Every structure is written in structure tokens, then in C-alpha cells.
């Protein structure tokens, strides 16, 4: 039917595996991403140690309300994870905007060149009939 072929389960699995491998290669090659994930894990470990102490005691809610250090570690862990997630998602491309800016710059350059040339061509014969004032 119009040259369409059905994709087998094995083909789908191969494609998925290729995507996973390329994703892992990107992640392992990105030093900043690894640093963000590592920092998030460190902050998470610190926060979990502090929480573990409180599970036997007065409870986590009062600890979160009172312990500035725990809140700081949790906030730092979330910031690191956000940064890592942004790196994994990649940069948003602005292809349409860049093309419009390029065409706008070309049009502006064309107009400036046209005005410059039209002004220059009209001034090809200077007017020397005016004499200098005598003092």
C-alpha cells in the first residue's frame, strides 16, 4: 500500500536503543550536567541524613519549619536538579526569529545602499557658481 511498511517490534526496539545510547553519550559527555547531578545527589544525601535523624524524633514538619540548614540543602538540591533538567532538555532554537532578523538586516542594508547611491548619483556635478563672500 503506497510503499508503506509496518515497523516490527524488533525495529522499534532498535530505534529506542539507539535513542537511549545517543542520550547517554550526550549526558556522559556533558561535564556541567554531571556536576549538576552530582551536586544534587550530595545535597540530597545531606538533607536525607538530617531527615533520618528526625524520623525518630519530633517529626519532619517541625524540622523543616525550624531548620534553616535543611531547607537550604533541599533548595540547593532542587536548584541543581532544575539546572540539570534544563541542560538535558537542550536549548530552544529560534530558527524563524533568526531568519526574520536576517531578512530585516538585508532589507535595511539594501535600503541604505539605495539611498546612498541615489544621493551620490544626484550630486555628481557639483555647483561651483556660488562665489566666496568678500571681506
Burial pattern 33-44, b for ≥16 Cβ within 10 A else e, equals: beebbebbeebb
Lookup result for grid cell 532578523: 101
pLDDT at 100 over 60: yes
pLDDT in the model for residue 59: 64
Report the predicted TM-score, pTM, of the whole model to 2 decimal places: 0.37
SS3 123: coil
Q: What is the rounded average pLDDT of the residues 63-80?
A: 80
Can you tell me the mean pLDDT for 41-52? 79
Backbone angles phi, psi at 122, to 5 degrees: -75, -20
> What is the rounded distance in angstroms from the CA atom of residue 107 to the CA atom of residue 113?
10
Amino acid at each position: 500500500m503506497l510503499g508503506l511498511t509496518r515497523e516490527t517490534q524488533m525495529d522499534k526496539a532498535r530505534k529506542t536503543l539507539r535513542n537511549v545510547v545517543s542520550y547517554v553519550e550526550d549526558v556522559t559527555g556533558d561535564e556541567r550536567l554531571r556536576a549538576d547531578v552530582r551536586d544534587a545527589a550530595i545535597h540530597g544525601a545531606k538533607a536525607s541524613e538530617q531527615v533520618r535523624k528526625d524520623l525518630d524524633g519530633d517529626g519532619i514538619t517541625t524540622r523543616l519549619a525550624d531548620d534553616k540548614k535543611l531547607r537550604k540543602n533541599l533548595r540547593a538540591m532542587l536548584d541543581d536538579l532544575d539546572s540539570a533538567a534544563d541542560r538535558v532538555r537542550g536549548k530552544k532554537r529560534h530558527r524563524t526569529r533568526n531568519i526574520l532578523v536576517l531578512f530585516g538586516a538585508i532589507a535595511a542594508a539594501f535600503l541604505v545602499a539605495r539611498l546612498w547611491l541615489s544621493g551620490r548619483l544626484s550630486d555628481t556635478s557639483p555647483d561651483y557658481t556660488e562665489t566666496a563672500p568678500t571681506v
